[in-house]
Chains A and B, each alone.
Chain A
Amino acid sequence: MSVRQGLLSVLSLGPNYGYQLRSEFERRTGGTWPLNIGQVYTTLDRLERDGLVRRGASTDEVQVLYEITAAGRDAAHTWLTRPVIREGATRDELAIKLALAVTIPGLDITALIQTQRSATLGALQDLTRLKRTDDRGDLAWELVLESMIFQLEAESRWLDHVEGRLTRIRDGRDPDPGDAAHPRPAERPASESTEAAR
């Protein structure tokens, strides 16, 4: 998401000064996305340039009051009601690391997965402790926290899945797609060496 859409959504609730807008944004996201004030003003300048906000009639000599325009209100509404589409290709370090690890001979993948699982569960324990000992009743903060909890849970399930697949392949219950489709360089027949050289 962009800070831009977030600030615009907050401005749709009423005009704000920059520093006020920042604290309102942070309050409404449970403090999980801290902004620096320079970032807020840069974003407001761009929103103004694009006709989504304008300077309001300020009673303050120094501060500029920002208010949303009709176009800005439309843009905020569109963002809030449209589904979020994640980018297709993963840049997730863990996924890439494991994908590479299974192709590298001599690595103990089971141990690697367990080390990661333990770390993932540890982080999950930390977040869960935060969640269950919190009694401020800040729904925004809890929802963001829970989203992180569910992501870690998904990571742990994925690790279980990877381990399960590797176990089945090791036990010969499933064929090894890696060996069939992508022979390792050392195992390539000599006749393929020209292809390997490309």
Chain B
Amino acid sequence: MTAAPVLRLDGVSLQYGQGSTSVTALSGIDLEIRRGELVAVMGASGSGKSSLLTVAGGLVRPTSGEVIVDGQWLSSLKPGQLAALRRRHLGFVFQDFNLVPALTAIENVSLPLELDGWKTSKAHRAARDALSTVELAEQADRFPDDLSGGQQQRVAIARAVVGGRSLILADEPTGALDSTTGEVVLRMLRGRVDHGAAAILVTHDARHAAWADRIVFIRDGRIVDESAYRGVETMVGRHA
């Protein structure tokens, strides 16, 4: 593949705090993700998965190293430029959903589009489509508090993919979902990626990680191993 990566992390390290109480969350992370690629990140609790996503998404500046999104060095952007890049190119699914309680599901989903200058009617149409891909069309006008945990999670996912973002960063997006609903979300995410987006999926669930093209394992803030789809015919027979 020759296309420029959608995301590149170059020797990224991250330290929280300073002095004796500081915590090294990431050390020397190198990672490249291209269009059409879904990368899963797995690792024990506290290994640095969420930290990796927040740095990749420009929410937190790395202590050292570079983050490059769609060819732009995040360190070179002014705050306003960074915010605009995030709104247009990046969809983030937070581990704790991060929905605005005073807005309905559809308003939560259309918010980033409206902030980016879309007309409300057009933004709502796109939001409704995104909600129906996660099977929530019926709940569009409900407030987050009136939704189950799994439904809130799916609103957060719809918000991350609405408007065709090129890079989707999803932190445990299936954590609150049962097995078949989780699969609806993965199929949708996979579909976006197959249509030219790129995505990182943080998950504890091997069955969900297996939807990825590559799985990156991290331990103590370092990438320790990778597993890729090998294209091997498996032993599972299929009749003609």
Chain B contacts of A119 at CB under 8 A? 227
Q: Is B78 an interface residue (CB 8 A)?
A: no
Chain B contacts of A33 at CB under 8 A? 237
Proximity string of chain A (122-144) to chain B, C-beta cutoff 8 Å, 1 when within and 0 when not: 11111111101000001001001
Selecting from A71-79, A81-89, A157-165, A173-181, the interface stretch reads A157-165
Q: Report yes or no: A148 in contact with B206, Cβ–Cβ below 8 A.
A: no
- Chain A nearest CB: distance from B224 CB in Å? 6
By Cβ-Cβ distance, the 3 closest A-B pairs, closest first, are: A31-B239, A156-B206, A124-B210
Q: Is B187 an interface residue (CB 8 A)?
A: yes
Chain A contacts of B236 at CB under 8 A? 32, 127, 130, 141, 144-145, 148
A contact residues vs B (CB 8 Å cutoff): 26-27, 30-34, 114, 117-130, 132, 138, 141, 144-145, 148-150, 152-153, 156-157, 160, 163-164, 167
Q: Is B143 an interface residue (CB 8 A)?
A: no
Q: Report yes or no: A150 in contact with B207, Cβ–Cβ below 8 A.
A: yes
Q: Is B234 an interface residue (CB 8 A)?
A: yes
- Residue from the list A122, A149, A150, A157 in contact with B228, Cβ < 8 A: A122
Chain B contacts of A125 at CB under 8 A? 210, 212, 215, 227-230
Q: Report yes or no: B225 in contact with A114, Cβ–Cβ below 8 A.
A: yes
- Residue from the list B187, B205, B227 in contact with A122, Cβ < 8 A: B227
Q: Report yes or no: B211 in contact with A128, Cβ–Cβ below 8 A.
A: yes
Knowing A125-B229, A127-B236, A149-B210 touch, does A132 contact B187 (C-beta < 8 A)?
A: yes
Considering the chains assembled together, what is the distance between the CA atoms of A16 and B106 in angstroms? 57
CB proximity to A under 8 Å, residues B199-240: 204-207, 209-212, 215, 217, 224-230, 232, 234, 236-239
Chain B contacts of A120 at CB under 8 A? 206
Proximity string of chain B (164-191) to chain A, C-beta cutoff 8 Å, 1 when within and 0 when not: 0000000000000000000000010010
